[in-house]
Amino acid sequence: MKLIFLGAPGSGKGTYATRVAPAIGVPQISTGDIFREHLKNNTEIGKKIKSIMESGNLVPDEVVMEIVKDRLKKDDVKKGFIFDGFPRTLEQAEEFGKITSVDAVVNLVVPEKIIIDRLTSRRVCEKCGSIFNIMSMKPKEEGKCDKCGGKLIQRKDDTLEVIMDRLNVYKKQTQPLIDYYRKKGLIIDIVNDNPNASPEQVLPRILEKLKNIQTK
Ligand SMILES: [Zn+2]
């Protein structure tokens, strides 16, 4: 099955993609992870990405497509894939359509208020990087990491201002993408408006919907 997962930052997209992939026997492909891998191994593509990012620009579509095409050559995608974090723009989706078909696009819909609450209450350990949440995953002692006793801080990325900004960018970029796939009849909306729903509760709903998908 060939799937794409869409969802705003804080929607749990990555979490669900990671769990659905083994359940249906396909690899989860995160272009972000591939970028980081190239950077770490200092490959030709890695060097290219590094200089683009250092100049403050977004990685251009042609480089993203190069990475995606390269990834689709591997044997493990014969039974399908879940793309997470790609395509990000309508242009990328159109290019992607030229190299492979897509069976469904899972669109995780989470109300903005829930996303904001979830992300602004996230705290990370300064020392070991463990993640806590002052609403849903409280540390035993306030402000202190359970694992190493380090100080818990709020990342700059998790402040209200930055989150609003990211959500607005996401909406602007992704709406045309959702429209594009909806017109093709490929969108599966998974609405998650219960702030306390665990991934274990949401996952079966996604798998149930995928049962009815015809693979091409
Ligand atoms: Zn720690």
pLDDT digits (tens, 9 = 90+) for 5-47: 999 988 989 889 999 999 999 999 998 889 899 999 999 889 9
**202 close to 12: Cβ distance less than 8 angstroms:** yes
Q: Is residue 84 part of a domain?
A: yes
Distances (CA, A) of 179 to 13, 58, 90, 170, 184: 19, 23, 9, 14, 9
155 is catalytic: yes
Question: 2, 19, 118, 122: which one is catalytic?
Answer: 122
Q: Mind listing the pLDDT tens digit for each residue in 149-177?
A: 999 999 988 999 999 999 999 999 999 99
Distances (CA, A) of 195 to 37, 88, 121: 33, 26, 13
- Cα dihedral 94, 95, 101, 107, rounded to 10, equals -50
Instruction: State the Cα–Cα distance between residues 81 and 148, nearest whole angstrom.
Output: 37
Could you tell me the distance, in angstroms and rounded to a whole number, from the CA of residue 130 to the centre of ligand 1?
A: 5
Could you tell me the distance, in angstroms and rounded to a whole number, from the CA of residue 120 to the centre of ligand 1?
A: 19
Q: Is residue 144 part of a domain?
A: no
pLDDT class for 59, splitting at 50, 70, 90?
confident
DSSP, collapsed to helix, strand or coil, labels residue 100 as: coil
Q: Is residue 51 part of a domain?
A: yes
CATH of the domain at 54: 3.40.50.300
Q: Is residue 148 part of a domain?
A: no
Q: Is residue 67 part of a domain?
A: yes
Q: Is residue 190 part of a domain?
A: yes
48 is catalytic: no
Domain of residue 10, residue span: 2-110+168-210
85 φψ region: left (φ > 0), alpha (ψ -120 to 50), beta (else):
left
Could you tell me the distance, in angstroms and rounded to a whole number, from the CA of residue 137 to the centre of ligand 1?
A: 14
Could you tell me the distance, in angstroms and rounded to a whole number, from the CA of residue 153 to the centre of ligand 1?
A: 11
Domain count, the chain: 1
Q: CA 193 from chain center: how many Å?
A: 18
